[in-house]
Amino acid sequence: MNRKKLQWILAALAPLWLAFHFSASIKGEKQNAFMPGDASHGHHQIQLQCSACHTEDMGVKHDACASCHQEELDRVADSHPVTKFLDPRNADRVAILDARKCVTCHVEHQPDQTAQMGVTLPEDYCYFCHQDVAEERPTHEGLPFNSCSTTGCHNFHDNSALYEDFLEKHLDDPIHKPDPSVPPRTLYQNWAHENETSPLSLAQRDAPTSTHYSQDIAFEWSTSSHAQAGVNCMDCHQSEQSSDWVAKPGIASCQNCHDYETDTFLQSRHGMRLDLGLSPMTPAHAKLPMHAGAGHKELSCVSCHDDHSFETRFAAVNACMSCHDDSHTNSYKESKHYQLWLAESNGTAPAGTGVSCATCHLPRVEVTEFGETLTKVLHNQNDVLRPNEKMIRPVCIQCHGVGFSIDALADPNLLENNFSGPSSIHVESLEMVVEKLSRVAARRSQGTN
């Protein structure tokens, strides 16, 4: 056999060899050796779970992205859904930039070329499909294409905080609303009613007498809202399979009664590893700055809700600050929001007027369950994190005007110092919107529409 032929055969066999090693590596420990580079900010926590995104031959699963993200994109009424690009009328645009595939814009494992939100396209990419925008919209004449999204006017997917009718409705809101507060949470009174339970006293605890525990545990439970609602030790310390005492109930026990909170927790950066059946997230896994001493803490329900008080105030500030250690977090206590939180906590201001970490990151939202509208705590902090306009609707406009909120969220200093100071930036895009809305209003009043 001549040398050339041998080289050729080896070259032909190489993919097979690679494929063999990849499939072996999917289950093996050395899989990250085959990973071309770290996954993006949103995914590094699950990057070693290749099979979350890849098929056995290392292609990207056709529904990988949708299986975890479609629900969110639908909820925010994605402005550029895949369906838009299946329309044959958009074939010429798809030929330039195939927006039918998420990976056209979100390639993984390329840390050097990846911007915020896992985007791997240059900033001015709107040009590919909207180069003629100024023809129909003279206001857009001469605007650079890298300003479409950087000035706070548009996002590719989620524009729900920028819709004209939403802005129109809120444009005249004052900077500070007259009664700035967030709505109360719906209590689980129905649960106690439906389960025919009544408040339990310390003596009524049902942990087996053979179990050893400190009196602190029993006391904390007796003063908790669980005891108030008639939830006893065994409601948590028992599995569905047997009546034996479970020493450390996991997240599944909470899920029995708190489905919404558990689901949204599992979709979040805090819960995403548990969702895939991996070991829990710990600060040691983090790329964001964390307290050195917190490295071993595991993220579960009880990392914020102290057992057995299952208290929510500690969970809303001090729990967060026991892990997170960046300048935004550490500046919070300088802010007026913290003063409001202290006043609410001391009882000198009405409930709902304080602003904790959780007020912004784990907001109270309306959820419909069995035809009933309830106000619950959204436990996926990423649902309202980026683009940060997502925080406007569920959070800021409870207390502030929309213009003030857009300005504040566009100011990098205010993000860094946790809003402990007045906003120094004024976003011009808002003026464009105001101008536009006044033109629409003028046309409407002339009856021309």
Is 119 one of the binding residues for ligand HEC (CB under 6 A)?
yes
Sign of CA dihedral 312, 317, 322, 324: positive
Give residues 348-377 in contact with ligand HEC (rule: CB under 6 A).
353, 355, 357-362, 364, 376-377
Stretch binding ligand HEC (CB under 6 A), from 5-13, 122-130, 136-144, 441-449: 122-130
CB of 6 to ligand HEC, least distance (A): 27
Contact between 79 and ligand HEC per CB under 6 A: yes
Exactly one of 21, 23, 35, 334 binds ligand HEC (CB under 6 A); that residue is: 35
* Tokens encoding 103: 């990976």
Query: Following CA atoms 324, 330, 333, 337 in sequence, which dihedral angle do they give, to the nearest 10 degrees?
Result: -70
The answer to whether residue 337 forms part of the interface with ligand HEC (CB under 6 A) is yes
Nearer to ligand HEC, 160 or 434 (CB): 160
Task: Give me the least distance between CB of 448 and ligand HEC, in Å please.
Answer: 22
Please report, as residue ranges, which positions from 144 to 203 form the binding site for ligand HEC (by CB under 6 A).
148-149, 154-158, 176, 180-182, 185, 187-188, 191
The CA distance from 30 to 23, in Å, is 12
Check if the beta carbon of residue 418 is closer than 8 Å to that of residue 332.
yes
Q: What is the distance between the alpha carbons of residues 87 and 133, in angstroms, rounded to a whole number?
A: 20
> Which amino acid is located at 310 in the chain?
F
- Our finding on whether 253 is near ligand HEC (CB under 6 A) is yes
Say how far apart CA 413 and CA 421 lie, in whole Å: 9
- Exactly one of 91, 103, 134, 440 binds ligand HEC (CB under 6 A); that residue is 103
Q: Is 121 left (phi over 0), alpha (psi -120 to 50) or beta?
A: beta
Of residues 256-275, those binding ligand HEC (CB under 6 A): 256-258, 261-262, 265, 267-270, 272
Q: How far is CA 340 from CA 38, 372, 421, in A?
A: 41, 31, 14
Q: Compare residues 324 and 427 and give the one whose CB is closer to ligand HEC.
A: 324
Question: Any contact of residue 319 with ligand HEC (CB under 6 A)?
Answer: yes
- Which range in 37-45, 165-173, 427-435, 438-446 contacts ligand HEC by CB under 6 A? 37-45
What is the torsional sign of CA 208, 301, 393, 158? Answer: negative
Q: Which residue is nearest to ligand HEC (CB)?
A: 42
Distance (Å, rounded) from C-alpha 109 to C-alpha 435?
Answer: 43
User: Contact, 352 vs 181, CB < 8 A?
Assistant: yes
Half-sphere exposure of 360 (CA within 13 A, CB side): 22
**Quick one: 417 or 434, whose CB is closer to ligand HEC?**
417
Q: Which is nearer to ligand HEC, 1 or 292 (CB)?
A: 292
* CB closer to ligand HEC, 2 vs 243: 243
162 vs 444, beta carbon nearer ligand HEC: 162
Taking CB under 6 A as the criterion, which residues in 200-219 touch ligand HEC? Answer: 205, 207, 211, 213, 217-218
Which of residues 114, 394, 418, 433 is near ligand HEC by CB under 6 A? 418
Q: How far apart are CA 8 and CA 20, in angstroms?
A: 19
Total residues interacting with ligand HEC, rule: CB under 6 A: 168
| Binding residue (CB under 6 A) for ligand HEC from 389, 394, 403, 419 | 419
**With the CA atoms of 347, 350, 352 and 358 taken in that order, what torsion angle do they form, in degrees rounded to the nearest 10?**
-20
Which one of 39, 365, 402, 427 is in contact with ligand HEC (CB under 6 A)? 39
Question: For ligand HEC, which residue of 21, 38, 65, 140 counts as binding (CB under 6 A)?
Answer: 65
Radius of gyration over every alpha carbon of the chain, rounded to an integer in angstroms: 26
Token output for 79: 């402005």
Neighbours of 71 (CB within 10 A): 10
- Inter-residue contact 251 to 274 (CB < 8 Å): yes
Among 231, 365, 427, 433, binds ligand HEC (CB under 6 A): 231
